[in-house]
């Protein structure tokens, strides 16, 4: 009888621990996804390709650095007409620096500095867990499904429906929705690649939108790696000097 009682108590605590772990799983999973996509502080290069309905394309190359939860800066490397332009994001505040203007100008998350389907919130994206809470998680065999809700009304998309590859714990597909559940765009994460430094993630993100019929945009990543950066880099005064970070 004593052994049976001990077994019941042990089973109770095991079930309690399992239940507690399950409750924590969804938020921890989202943080793991963020860290698998990139270190908290890092640098990367990206090629952005905007594809028109007639098949014509326009390409941009950006060098991007990110630090902590809310600091992102990018420098345009090409085309020649865009060289020297830079962007800065601090939380929900965003600026564009144009050399001919000589000072940063405010921009919004729903605008696009490249003019394609990717908006500024996509191009200067913060970690998912910084902007979203997990409302629902479901195990669907080879994938997890996450329903994410924006933490406040300043976030570009009210909801995200994220399908996650179980093997690598990175997104496969993200649907971006309004508060009324209208689909704004879909992000497709492709070509899992080993970037070194324990970074194994999609090298390509493609997007299309029912609001922009026939238009597509593609984001191709390279040289994603950790890099320590001083806070000075993420200031308006440093925007004209981002080129000094290249090496």
For residue range 82-106, what is the model confidence (pLDDT) as tens digits? 999 999 999 999 999 999 998 999 9
3-state secondary structure the chain: CHHHHHHHHHHHHHHHHHHHHHHHHHHHHHHHHHHHHCCCCEEEEEEEEEECCCCCEEEEEEEEEEECCCEEEEEEEECHHHCCCEEEEECCEEEEECCCCCCEEEECCCCCCCCCCCCHHHHCCCCHHHHEEEEEEEECCCEEEEEEEECCCCCCCCEEEEEEECCCCEEEEEEEECCCCCEEEEEEEEEEEECCCCCEEEEEEEEECCCCCCCEEEEEEEEEEECCCCHHHHCHHHHHHHHHHCC
| 29 vs 37: CA distance, rounded Å | 12
Is the separation of the CB atoms in 107 and 94 below 8 Å?
Answer: yes
Q: What is the pLDDT of residue 19?
A: 42
For residue range 225-237, what is the model confidence (pLDDT) as tens digits? 999 999 999 999 9
The whole-number average pLDDT for the span 70-80 is 97
Q: Assess whether pLDDT exceeds 80 at residue 10.
A: no
For the entire predicted model, the pTM comes to: 0.88
For residue range 173-195, what is the model confidence (pLDDT) as tens digits? 999 999 999 999 999 999 999 99
Is the separation of the CB atoms in 160 and 140 below 8 Å?
Answer: no
Q: What is the pLDDT of residue 3?
A: 52
For residue range 24-58, what is the model confidence (pLDDT) as tens digits? 489 999 999 999 999 999 999 999 999 999 999 99
Domain annotation for the chain: domains and CATH numbers:
41-245 (2.50.20.10)
């Amino acid at each position: 009888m004593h052994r049976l009682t001990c077994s019941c108590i042990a089973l109770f605590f095991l079930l309690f621990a399992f239940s507690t772990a399950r409750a924590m799983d969804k938020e921890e999973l989202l943080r793991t996804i963020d860290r698998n996509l990139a270190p908290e502080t890092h640098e990367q290069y990206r090629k952005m390709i905007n594809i028109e309905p007639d098949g014509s394309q326009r390409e941009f190359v950006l060098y991007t650095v990110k630090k902590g939860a809310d600091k992102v800066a990018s420098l345009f490397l090409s085309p020649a007409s865009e060289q020297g332009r830079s962007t800065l994001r601090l939380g929900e505040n965003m600026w564009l620096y144009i050399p001919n203007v000589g000072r940063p100008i405010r921009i919004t998350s729903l605008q696009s500095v490249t003019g394609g389907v990717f908006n500024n919130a996509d191009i200067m994206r913060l970690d998912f867990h910084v902007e979203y809470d997990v409302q629902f998680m479901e195990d669907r065999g080879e994938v997890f499904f996450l329903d994410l809700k924006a933490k406040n009304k300043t976030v570009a998309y009210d909801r995200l429906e994220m399908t996650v590859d179980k093997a690598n714990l990175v997104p496969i597909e993200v649907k971006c929705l309004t508060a009324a559940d209208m689909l704004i765009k879909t992000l497709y994460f492709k070509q899992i690649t080993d970037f070194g430094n324990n970074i194994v993630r999609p090298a390509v993100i493609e997007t299309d939108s029912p609001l922009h019929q026939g238009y597509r945009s593609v984001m191709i990543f390279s040289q994603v790696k950790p890099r320590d950066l001083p806070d000075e880099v993420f200031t308006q005064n440093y925007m004209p000097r981002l080129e000094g970070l290249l090496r």
